[in-house]
Amino acid sequence: MIKLSFTLNKNRLELMVSEMKPLSQILYEDLQIDTQERNCNGKVCGNCLVLFDKEPTLGCLIPAFKLQNKTVTTFDSFMQTAHYRNIRRIYTQLNIEPCPNCYAAKTLIFESILLKSKTKASQTSTLDDFSKNFVNKGKNIFDKPEILAETIEREFLISPCPCMNSQELFEIAIKAQEDRIKRRVL
Amino acid sequence: MFYSNKKLISPTTINELHAIMKSRTNGIFFAGGTYIMNQQNYLKEEDTIIDLSNIKELDEITRNIQFVDVGCMVTANKLLDIGKLAFTDLLLDTLHNTATHIIRNQITIGGALCTPDIRYSLPGTLSIMNTVVELLDLSQDKLVSKFIPIDKLYNTKGELQIEKGVLLKKIRISLDNYDFEKFFCIGDPIRKPESTLIISFRANIDQTILNKVNMCVTFPTCGMYISNEIAQELIGAQLPLTISRTIIISEKITNDIKKEITGISALQIERCKRLIQSILFEIEPNQESIEISEGLF
Ligand SMILES: Cc1cc2nc3c(=O)[nH]c(=O)nc-3n(C[C@H](O)[C@H](O)[C@H](O)COP(=O)(O)OP(=O)(O)OC[C@H]3O[C@@H](n4cnc5c(N)ncnc54)[C@H](O)[C@@H]3O)c2cc1C
Ligand code: FES
């Protein structure tokens, strides 16, 4: 057993659990959070997604010992943030949204895509150090944070519920990105 | 349950890791955990989890003009981000094709190469890029390190051939440039790995002549095929290849695959044949080298 200390939805917690118990099961069995999937046994349903140190992560792939001093945000808590309100606004504007079965999973995947496009835009300076010894092949992908249709399709492979088509997923991602830039949701 | 009490050790240096592993035959390396956490019966009661994430040395990337050394704990996303200005499209396409961004944040290079029973795209692509791996035998009193070509890690069934207690410390990716590269992944590797087919291909072209060919075909649950003989046969071929030549070569390769690897479906074989034909048919004379040589006279 391991004595864990971590932050869940802004509350500091201490807990004794088995080292390898998955986060998704800790949330359900030890913390009585029953809004998320516990374990789909490798079916990759995506319904256990949480923010783990701000990064969208599958809770069933995180063992307890990795939680030490980390921050976990479940979807219920994510719903209180400006990032969620941005995505929600676009669902309303376009009158398209994921079905209740995968609403949390798909919304957190949008969050992952939007976070990734933001970091890409701000990465140039840190990468220069590494790249200075290489021939620049003219591939400066950091000029603008691009969201590509094929990327969107791939990212949603971990939420296989067919309630939305690729065109809809793409449209939401693009519009949410524009909205974040316009409203300076950082 | 598979997660019932397990002993966990988190060394912070290779020496510490060595001291732990020397006295223990049941240590299981834990890298990103995306494979281990998905397996119901993988961990045994007596296993000790050896968490590699606190050993800084294993998370380093270093480079010179000829190669890049990548520590086993570097994640697929980190390699993709840093590699964008260093690697050619073959490796970048392969990394992009690996799972999704969310999972790539967790998948490590060591873990991707050391899953016991399933092979995805990375081993095949790295094999044809002349990558070598550094293995550390931690079970001996003295720390023994050796470099071997990456394809020697597996048998033709794609099964991992390294002993328990041997750590894949880093990989060394050579930075040679090739004129023609292709990467294909057909099927759904996440949900249907048994029907997926992956081809990594690269060739060098000297004006209108093929002078180097490397190809690996991966069937995730059945094995990997690297054809040195057929690649050898293609050297010196005049470009563009004729349709009949591409058909003959693709049939030779698929017949060879059927002989060497068992369990592949007829559909995978047919797709493989057609993909190889289309790749070979696409290789064109190297206009740049023709222009350079014309300029010389
Ligand atoms: C939903 C999903 C989809 C995926 N899709 C793909 C895909 O499309 N393509 C792809 O390539 N991969 C894919 N993967 C990842 C792949 O299946 C493995 O899970 C992953 O490569 C393992 O890496 P890891 O770092 O998580 O390793 P771990 O799970 O920590 O370890 C895997 C194995 O390697 C051993 N090991 C780890 N590091 C070392 C080392 N340095 N030396 C010796 N042994 C070591 C461990 O003991 C264990 O046996 C997917 C995974 C998931 C969960
Ligand atoms: S419970 Fe984690 S992917 Fe389904």
- The tens digit of pLDDT for each residue in B114-159 reads 999 899 999 999 999 999 999 999 999 999 999 999 999 999 889 9
Q: E-strand spans in chain A? A: 2-8, 11-17, 49-52, 55-58, 71-73
pLDDT band at B187 (very low <50, low <70, confident <90, very high): very high
Same domain, A38 and A96: no
The edge-to-edge listing of strands for the beta sheet with B197-206 is B180-186, B197-206, B209-219, B223-226
Q: How many domains does chain A have?
A: 2
| Domain C-terminal end among A51, A77, A103 | A77
Q: Give CA–CA dist B174/B273, Å, rounded.
A: 29
Residues A14, A3: Cα–Cα separation, whole Å? 7
Residues A70 and A87 placed together within one structural domain of the fold: no
Question: Which of these three, A24, A42, A77, is where a domain ends?
Answer: A77
Q: Looking at the domain that runs over B56-174, which CATH code has it been given?
A: 3.30.465.10
Task: Please state, for a pLDDT cut of 70, what percent of chain A lies above it.
Answer: 85
Q: What is the pLDDT of residue B278?
A: 95
Give how far Cα B125 sits from Cα of A165, B6, B91, Å: 32, 35, 7
Record: contact B61-A44, CB cut-off 8 A: no
**In this predicted structure, what is the pLDDT of residue A43?**
84
The yes/no answer on whether domain B180-288 falls in CATH 1.10.510.10 is no
- For the residues B237-242, what does the mean pLDDT come to? 93
- Least trusted range by pLDDT, from A31-40, A138-147, B27-36: A138-147
Same domain as A58, residue A127: no
Interface of A with B in 160-179 (CB under 8 A): 160
The pLDDT, as a whole number, for residue B172 is 98
> What is chain B's mean pLDDT, rounded?
92
Examine the domain organization and report whether A65 and A134 are in the same domain. no
pLDDT single digits (tens) A82-139: 999 999 999 999 999 999 999 999 999 999 999 988 765 544 434 334 443 333 333 3
Per the model's pLDDT, the better-predicted residue between A137 and B280 turns out to be B280
- Which helix (H) or strand (E) covers residue B201, if one does? strand B197-206
Tokens 């996303």, residue?
A: B77
Ligand nearest to the CA of B99: 1
Chosen domain end from A48, A77, A106: A77
What is the pLDDT averaged over residues B201-216? 93
Which of A4, A20, A68, A126 should one mutate to test binding to chain B, selecting the residue with the greatest count of B CBs within 10 A?
A20
What are the residues whose beta carbons fall under 8 Å from the beta carbon of B124, sequence distance 6 or more?
B198, B199, B200, B216, B217, B218, B224, B226
Shared-domain flag, residues A59 and A102? no
Residue B5: closest C-alpha in chain A: A18
With helix as H, strand as E and coil as C, how does B240-261 read?
CCCHHHHHHHHHHHHHHHHHHC
Q: Please tell me the distance from the alpha carbon of residue B282 to that of residue B140, in angstroms, as a whole number.
A: 50
- For residues A100 and A24, membership in a common domain is answered with no
A167 and A121 in a single domain? The answer is yes
Judge if A90 and A56 occupy the same domain. no
Name the residue ranges covered by the structural domains of chain B: 8-51, 56-174, 180-288
* Higher-pLDDT residue of A1, B148: B148
Q: Which ligand is nearest to the CA of B78?
A: 1
Helix (H, G, I), strand (E, B) or coil at B137: strand
Q: Are strands B132-137 and B144-149 parallel, antiparallel or unpaired?
A: antiparallel
Q: Same domain for A129 and A46?
A: no
Q: Are residues A64 and A154 in the same domain?
A: no
ipTM over 0.85: yes
**The pTM is what?**
0.91
pLDDT top residue among B289 and B18: B18
The CATH number that applies at residue A21 is 3.10.20.30
**Domain extent for A176:** 82-183
pLDDT attached to residue A142: 33
Query: What pLDDT was estimated at residue A129?
Result: 42
What confidence score (pLDDT) does residue B295 get? 61
Higher pLDDT, A115 or B4: A115
Residue A22 has pLDDT above 90, yes or no: yes
CA of A19 to the centre of ligand 1 (A): 19
Please tell me whether residues A52 and A102 are part of one structural domain. Answer: no
CB of A27 closer than 6 A to ligand 2? no
Question: For residue B202, what is the enclosing H or E element?
Answer: strand B197-206
What is the mean predicted confidence (pLDDT) over A150-176? 93
Question: What is the reported pLDDT for A131?
Answer: 40
A58 shares its domain with A131: no
- Burial A9-34, CB ≥16 within 10 A → b, else e: beeeeebebbbbbbbbbbbbeeeebe
Average pLDDT for residues B12-35, to the nearest whole number? 93
